[in-house]
Amino acid sequence: MSDSQLPPASLIPEEVPEEEVSPPGWKLNLGLFLLTVLTTVVAGALQQGVNPLASPGQLYRGIPFSFTLLLILGAHETAHFLASRHHHLDVSLPYFLPAPPYPFIVGTFGAFIRIRSPIRDKRALLDVGCSGPLTGVAVALPVLYWGLLHSQVRYFPPGSVPGLVLGEPLFFKLVSWLVLGSLPREAVVVMHPVAFAGWIGLLVTALNLLPVGQLDGGHVVYALFPRQHRLISWGCLGVLVLLGVTVWQGWLVWAGLLLLLGVRHPLPMDTWVPLDRRRRVLGVVTMAVFLLSFTPMPFSLD
């Protein structure tokens, strides 16, 4: 190649000495994961009435909840990671976020991965956005089925249900009907820890699929409707505020958090690449999963 055929110097990658290349930061990921194992085990034990300080030997009772919840979260993030690597994106290992077991009854704030490179086109964007929620719910549903098989049905007079009452998204209603059949109004399902973890898996799926900003749902909506993405994001925030005022105040917190994170979505590099038919169908299925996983009132105290 002659000098005139050489690319500009700014386009020639500089050779980095091997000793200057940073190793993957897996130690932080592992440390956060192990800490999340601890906090979710303690949370699961607390749900079973164990006092960790008075009876530390009973902490093993929190393992079924912890293992199941981390399985669902891990499947979700692993799917994101593999989809990102399939599209040659620079992506981190999953970061698990521990939470105090009390008052956060699940012991974790969830998990996430960092995508450090721009996404090339809408096809990659949709693949990455869909992969996590669809994989997570594919794990959560059979887990929920097994957990409900091992749950108890008790009967209370109307208006006298004690403690925390969980909302029932359509997915939960369907699985509950398959396992337990039609239950009278006075029936209350006291869920096995595995079933509770499955229920949380549905909630996590719904929260991730909110069609706002750069959430998984935001990625999917942008890939399907790039011109309407911002309008849909603002509309979703408005619905959350309305639900927060009328149904469950926790939605006000979510609306505020999402507003801080922003409703805008960055442009993919190759905006001209269209979605193929298979991915459009996949996007519609993913948003249907959102509707089936969402419940207007996740928690209530009776």
pLDDT in tens, 225-279: 999 999 999 999 999 999 999 999 999 999 999 999 999 999 999 989 999 999 9
Residue 68 maps to a domain: no
Residue 99 maps to a domain: yes
Cα atoms in the Cβ-side hemisphere of radius 13 Å centred on 171: 26
pLDDT band at 106; cut points 50, 70, 90: very high
Stretch 103-113: mean pLDDT: 91
- pLDDT for residue 1: 45
Q: How far apart are CA 258 and CA 233, in angstroms?
A: 10
- What total number of domains does the chain contain? 1
- pLDDT for residue 24: 56
Helix, strand, coil share (%) of the chain residues, nearest 5: 60, 10, 35
Residue 276 maps to a domain: no
- Rg of the chain on CA atoms, in Å: 22
Residue 198 maps to a domain: no
Q: What pLDDT digit, counting tens, does each position of 26-72 carry?
A: 899 999 999 999 999 999 999 999 999 889 899 999 999 999 999 99
Q: What is the pTM of this model?
A: 0.88
Residue 46 domain boundaries = 26-63+90-117
Q: How far apart are the first and last CA of the chain?
A: 78
Q: Are strands 108-112 and 95-98 parallel, antiparallel or unpaired?
A: antiparallel
Residue 6 maps to a domain: no
Q: How far apart are CA 52 and CA 39, in angstroms?
A: 11
Q: What pLDDT digit, counting tens, does each position of 123-182 carry?
A: 999 999 999 999 999 999 999 999 999 999 988 776 666 677 899 999 999 999 999 999
Residue 33 maps to a domain: yes
